[in-house]
Structure 1
Amino acid sequence: MVFVDLIGIDKTASLLLALGGSQIQVGRHRVYKNSSVVKEIGEEAALEIGEYFCGGVFKVPLGKKFLSRYLSAKGMKQQEIARTLHIDVATVARHQKPFQAGKAGGPSSQKRREYGR
C-alpha cells in the first residue's frame, strides 16, 4: 500500500480508520491546518501524500483487509475488529489467513463446482 511507504503503518491505519471511503483534498506544497487529514495524521504526513499524488482531490481507500490485519497484530480480538470495521467476523478470519500461492479459486469457485455450474 502506497500510504504505508509514504507515512508509515500507524498513520496509514489512522487515516483509513478515520477517513477511509471519503474524498480528501491535499495540496502539493501546502495543506490547511484545519483539514481533517492534517488533524488525523499531521501536517508533514499530509504534505508527503500531497507531494506524491501531485495534490488534488482523491478518495481514501477503505482498506478493510489491511486494517483487519493491522488491528489483529495490535492484539485486538476478531470480534472487536469485526465491530470496528463493520464487517462479518468470518471476513476478519479470512483476512488473517496467509496468502496461499498456487491455490486457484475461492469459496465461490468451490460452490460452483459443487452445484455443477
Structure 2
Amino acid sequence: MLQRSLMMGGRSDGLDRHKDWRLDVDKMSYEELLELGDRIGYVNTGLREEEIICCLRKTKLSISGGFPLHFPTEMERKCSICQEEYDTEDDMGKLDCGHLYHIHCIKQWLVQKNTCPVCKTAAVTQC
C-alpha cells in the first residue's frame, strides 16, 4: 500500500496526477505514431567517422582449406550483417568484443548504432 502510494506521487486517494501525460502507443494509429515521431524528432545513436576508426581494428581474413580454422561454427563463417560468407582476403573489421564483420558492413552499422550487432556491447565507450 505504501509503495503504491509513493508511486502515485504520495497521494493516498489513488489519483494519478500525471495520467494526462502518459501515452498508450499500443492504441495509437499509424498516423498518430508518425505525428509523435515528428514531434519527438530523430535521435542519432550512431558514431562519427573518427569514433568508428577508434573502435574498429581492420584486419585481413586468411582462409586455408576453404574455411577459417578459427571459426568453430558455421554461423561465424559469414558476416552477421550482410549474411554473406567470408571470402579469402576479405577486409574485416573487429570490435573490442571480438566479433568480426566485413569492414564496409560494420562501418555502415556503426553509423546507425553504437553496439555490436551480435552481443549488443557498446562499440565505443570512450576514445
Q: What TM-score results when the alignment is normalised by the length of structure 1? A: 0.23
Q: TM-score, normalised by structure 2?
A: 0.22
Between Structure 1 and Structure 2, which shows a larger proportion of helix residues? 1
Structure exhibiting the larger radius of gyration computed from Cα positions: 2
